[in-house]
Structure 1
């Protein structure tokens, strides 16, 4: 290849044949979720769209073009632990890929059905419970979608006030939930390794991708800024989904984090990227895991368990 010619960036066309493999994608009816579904189904995978609104899920599935794999829509509300348990209880057979994609971003203060702050409860606790309940079925990997927002403003896990009562801001809550996604991935991989499981836990972020999330921002000014950014800076949904897809099918080490390789990781081809020091702290990861078990009542499966370090 000539020196001035770049190697083509990895894209959805590079996904290997996934015939015979099954994937679950949460938040699958729009944005990054439906782009992920479409790419996996085109590669031959059977894909289950896990969605809160069945009508919207069915409509999205009907629009997927060129799918070789079967599509199925099942109800899942990550803001309701009873719904999470019901989804997992109904699962039968092997599950190769779990894509924890669903999320809410920068919304006004609210609570899930179980009383958790909405962004932390949906983005982290719902996926924490779902993953652990489905782990006995998993054969390959879990990919959890985080965000570059885990770095913004030096976020931390507010262990003393996870609901951010009295100190809530939409961006603080979102950053905490995205930091939790990375700490969850870190501790999940540690436990899988200790248990001798072949399943891998990875994380990804889309950079700046134009999705429906920005339209729900609690701030009118931020919504206006994001609308402009979506036109000028953002990648579209299929491009934003590439880091998730890369993490889902490439042979990468457990706990890897994938994002765009361009300036500020806002856009570009998928590549391994770094995470903040706060997202790399094993003590915080273990503490978050223990708290998450207490809050959800869901634990790492006994058949996979290994001792927790002192």
Structure 2
């Protein structure tokens, strides 16, 4: 798609006073930056993260911020976190599905799902479904899901026959699949929200090449070279969070919008609307992934418009 020059910056963000924001993985990296910037503009921020001590370090400098323990690799933990958030908040203005793993060794979640798709997608699918009613009663609310350029790996088409990497495991391939599911989830969530005439929208963002701790799982032989490349061509976590912040706050954003950096290869630069693989917009793949996700997690989101109470 043709992109215009972006002038969007942190100064473009409107006041966030009165908004309740839930951010997963906000104890470090992109999530911590997102939390700090939204809090600085008045939002009440809930950090949902696995490492409570790191989360508390972040919230110590954020007025009124809260920490909730969330391990996306455990559906039990997801349900407990959702219950805690629901108990504290009658409404949610923004849910940022930010947490994730990248190129981990072969592993499974507590529920037996392949670790990357289980954490990056299924955990967020369940959390979103469990918090959806709090979003639906809040006019202008949003669900922002952070994905990656890696959604294009493997042709950008999801292989449902090997969703859980049961036939051979490739950490890069598994990561790419998990990031593709993030986009399929966003588009199908938006379709269902629109069908329900909800006042909530679903938006996606990707940070380009950002210098964060995600690369710690890269294979040792290639880790120094990729790290060096990211350092040269990538950008800081502060700049990598800009697409997420635009997706979260831009008043002109519409459902299914996708934001990423404006620079060469979408690796760095100011945030603009970007395109995604044709596979990420395949209606049949969107529907099929949603149904599989409901079956695997046991969470079946209900789309009740705010006007219906």
TM-score by length of 1: 0.92
Structure 2 contact 47–67 (Cα < 8 Å) conserved = yes
How far residue 153 of structure 1 moved from its aligned partner, in angstroms, is 2.9
In the alignment, which of 115, 127, 135 is matched to residue 124 of structure 2? 127
Deviates more, 1:105-114 or 1:165-174: 165-174
Cα distance change of structure 1 residues 184 and 21 upon mapping to structure 2, 3 Å threshold: same
Give the aligned CA root-mean-square deviation in angstroms. Answer: 1.6
- 5+ long unaligned stretches in structure 2: none
In the alignment, which of 97, 100, 103 is matched to residue 100 of structure 1? 97
Match of 2:299?
298
How far residue 8 of structure 1 moved from its aligned partner, in angstroms, is 7.4
Match of 1:308?
none
Match of 1:214?
215
* Structure 1 or 2: more helix by fraction: 2
Equivalent residue of 1:50, what SS? strand
Map 1:125-204; keep pairs closer than 5 Å.
125-138=122-135, 139=138, 140-204=141-205
Structure 2 contact 49–69 (Cα < 8 Å) conserved = yes
Match of 2:14?
16
How far residue 169 of structure 1 moved from its aligned partner, in angstroms, is 0.3
Structure 1 contact 51–73 (Cα < 8 Å) conserved = yes
How far residue 225 of structure 1 moved from its aligned partner, in angstroms, is 1.8
Match of 1:45?
43
- Relative contact order, CA 8 A, sep 6+: which one is greater? 2
Measure, in 2, the Cα distance between the counterparts of 1:298 and 1:74. Answer: 20
Equivalent residue of 1:126, what SS? helix
Equivalent residue of 1:48, what SS? strand
Deviates more, 1:151-160 or 1:126-135: 151-160
Cα distance change of structure 1 residues 142 and 12 upon mapping to structure 2, 3 Å threshold: same
Map 1:82-121; keep pairs closer than 5 Å.
82-90=76-84, 91=86, 92-121=89-118
How far residue 70 of structure 1 moved from its aligned partner, in angstroms, is 2.1
Matched pairs, number: 295
Measure, in 2, the Cα distance between the counterparts of 1:304 and 1:61. Answer: 33
Q: Deviations over 1:128-185 (max 9, x none)?
A: 0000110100120000000000112314323223211132100000000000000000
Measure, in 2, the Cα distance between the counterparts of 1:60 and 1:253. Answer: 30
Match of 1:3?
none
Runs of 4+ in 1 over 2 A off after TM superposition: 6-9, 155-158, 302-305
Measure, in 1, the Cα distance between the counterparts of 2:282 and 2:295. Answer: 20
- 5+ long unaligned stretches in structure 1: 1-5, 306-310
